[in-house]
Amino acid sequence: MAAKKKTTKKAAKKTAKKKTTKKAVKKTAKKTTRKKAAKKKTTSAKKSDVPLVGIVGMGYVGLPLAREFCLGGAKVLGFDVNPKTVSNLNKGKSPLKHIPSSDVKEMVDTKNFKVTEKMNQLGKPDALLIAVPTPLTENREPDMQFVEKTCETISKYLRKGQLVVLESTTYPGTTKELMLPILEKSGLKAGRDFHLAYSPEREDPGNKSFRTATIPKVVGGYDKKSLDMAVEIYKYAIDTLVPVKSCEAAEAAKILENTYRCVNIAMVNELKMLFDRMGIDVWEVIHAASTKPFGYKAFYPGPGLGGHCIPIDPFYLTWKARQYGMPTRFIELAGEINTDMPHYVVMRTLEALNDHKKSLKGSKVLVLGLAYKKDIDDVRESPSLELIELLREKGARVDYNDPYIPQTHKQRDYDLQMKSKKLTPKMLQKYDAVLISTDHSEYDYNWVVENSQLVIDTRNATEKVRKGRKKIVKA
Ligand SMILES: NC(=O)c1ccc[n+]([C@@H]2O[C@H](COP(=O)([O-])OP(=O)(O)OC[C@H]3O[C@@H](n4cnc5c(N)ncnc54)[C@H](O)[C@@H]3O)[C@@H](O)[C@H]2O)c1
């Protein structure tokens, strides 16, 4: 794992250096020589000087973070309430497609990594990093139950000198207004007895150019001591740290990043619909605009927004803004447009079938890709789920294929009870329409188009396909 890491890190660093205009980061970031610091600590320091980092929530965020801490020479004690996650990780099995089990096994074998359900161990680590879910309630308001429960449990075992850091995405004010009073139920006082910070995770599963260690990390502390302690701890895992003056600034920075994506994606989604009416290909337009070397950043349209972050996090801010009597119009509008995209895709499918003298009702439709983005196995908030429901509502007979998701599982809003269909030329030909919802790299799009009657492409995945273009409808 170490050798592989060196090469991927080197490549990622190169890309990061080249691609980013990180003047701002350079100015404010505390560049840390992570490996050197860790090496010095592990070789010259006594074993007891190596920090024990507790990570609460061993999911998409917690596990990659744990891996980086282990690689940096720290010890990690993971906490999770899911017994299956705990037992798999302790056996060296990764629950995530993009984190190889061999990495987890190596971490376990070094004896520097263990995961437990026993929350009475929470007093042991030097720092507790919280990476539990922060979804929305049915009324689209922040659902803070996981953060609250975690803090309630921590408050029972919190000890003097410990550092508690929230990593979960949330609204500005969470650390001080919500976490601090719960943690102080322990009888200990923040700033005096224990330390508190916020440091948002910027994990991007499936991104081959960056990994947790090479993504600069923003850190805000409750006070100076808390910030300093958090920076020292994160040096074991992260190459570049970006300290800010408060927890609120760090919380707001994360929401800004996600709102920026949400709003810009909504804009290109809207332009996609307009340009389509005008007979202009939005993808060609974006490629052309992207050649401008400054002042433009490309965002791409799609079938809707997916994932645990972009469709959700901006609404944490909307909710908070209401307390200040201020509407967040950009966010609301972006939400409206993005939420409407699956309806647009279904309408385009209906029109395309109409052109083939077929009705959507009774037609067989195959949705290609269930994950919310390419090359990952995460279906949370995936627009494919909504597409399947809408198509079914209109009377279509729908199947799906996703190499990463063999079957669907019950979600908060969906219980599709479907299994991924095996792709063969014969089965493709049976469908009246094949709808590309996720542009996984594994698909051979030439082959898909060649063997399909009609292809609805929401991702421009068929851009390079030359034969059979008449069968392709962009949506
Ligand atoms: N997934 C991403 O790419 C990503 C990126 C950036 C930020 N985030 C944010 O990070 C946070 C975590 O997201 P995730 O994707 O890792 O979630 P996840 O669902 O993959 O993992 C969360 C883990 O926390 C565990 N958990 C829940 N309650 C717990 C408790 N009380 N004590 C201990 N463990 C508990 C769950 O069993 C689960 O294993 C969220 O706020 C999310 O918005 C996620």
Q: So what's the pLDDT on residue 466?
A: 97
pLDDT of residue 44: 43
> If DSSP codes are grouped into helix, strand and coil, which group holds residue 444?
coil
Q: How confident is the model at residue 12 (pLDDT cuts 50, 70, 90)?
A: very low
Mean pLDDT of 277-287: 97
The architecture of the domain spanning 280-474 is 3-Layer(aba) Sandwich (3.40)
Q: How far apart are CA 283 and CA 271, in angstroms?
A: 10
Rounded average pLDDT over 128-151: 95
Contact 413, 332 (CB under 8 A): no
Q: Is the pLDDT of residue 2 over 90?
A: no
CA of 151 to the centre of ligand 1 (A): 14
What is d(CA 275, CA 51) in angstroms, rounded to the nearest whole number? 55
For position 43, what pLDDT does the model report?
Answer: 42
Q: How far apart are the C-alpha atoms of 474 and 352, rounded to whole Å?
A: 10
Query: With contact defined as beta carbons under 8 Å apart, do 77 and 124 qualify?
Result: yes
Give the H/E segment covering residue 143.
Answer: none
Residue ranges lining ligand 1, Cβ < 6 Å = 56-62, 79-82, 85, 131-134, 146, 149-150, 167-169, 201-203, 205, 308-309
User: How would residue 138 be classed by pLDDT, with cut points 50, 70 and 90?
Assistant: confident
Predicted confidence (pLDDT) per residue in 174-196, tens digit: 999 999 999 999 999 999 999 99
Known catalytic residue: 151?
no
Assign 331 a pLDDT band (cuts: 50, 70, 90).
Answer: very high
Separation of CA 330 and ligand 1 centre (Å): 27
Q: Are 379 and 370 in contact (CB under 8 A)?
A: yes
| Identity of the residue numbered 114 | K
Pocket of ligand 1, candidates 80, 98, 156: which has the most ligand atoms within 8 Å of its Cβ, to mutate?
80
The overall average pLDDT reported for the chain is 91
**What share of the chain in percent tops pLDDT 90?**
84
Span from the CA of 272 to the centroid of ligand 1 (angstroms): 33
* CA of 358 relative to ligand 1 center, distance in Å: 44
Dihedral angle, C-alpha 326, 329, 330, 336, nearest 10 °: 140
For position 37, what pLDDT does the model report?
Answer: 46
Q: State how far the Cα of 255 lies from the Cα of 317, in Å rounded to an integer.
A: 7
CATH superfamily of 2-248: NAD(P)-binding Rossmann-like Domain (3.40.50.720)
377 within 8 A of 362, measured Cβ to Cβ: no
pLDDT value of position 352: 98
In this structure, the residue with its CA closest to atom 4 of ligand 1 is 203
Check residue 206 and give its pLDDT.
78
- Which residues is 128 bridged to in the sheet? 54, 164
Residue 48 confidence (pLDDT): 63
pLDDT single digits (tens) 16-67: 443 433 443 344 444 434 544 444 444 444 556 899 999 999 999 999 999 9
**Whole-angstrom distance, CA of residue 51 vs CA of residue 72:** 11
Strand partners for 165: 129, 197
Residue span(s) of the chain under CATH 3.40.50.720 come to 2-248, 280-474
Pairwise CA distance, residues 122 & 155, whole Å: 9
> Among 70, 247, 262, 309, which one carries the catalytic annotation?
309
Q: Which pLDDT score is estimated for 85?
A: 97
Atom of ligand 1 nearest to the CA of 170: 41
Which segment of 9-18, 278-287, 374-383, 431-440 scores lowest on mean pLDDT?
9-18
DSSP 13-53: HHHHHHH--THHHHHH-EE--HHHHHHHHHHHS-GGGSPEE
- What is the per-residue pLDDT for 32? 39
What is the per-residue pLDDT across 207-233, written as a single tens digit (0 to 9) for each?
Answer: 889 989 999 999 999 999 999 999 999
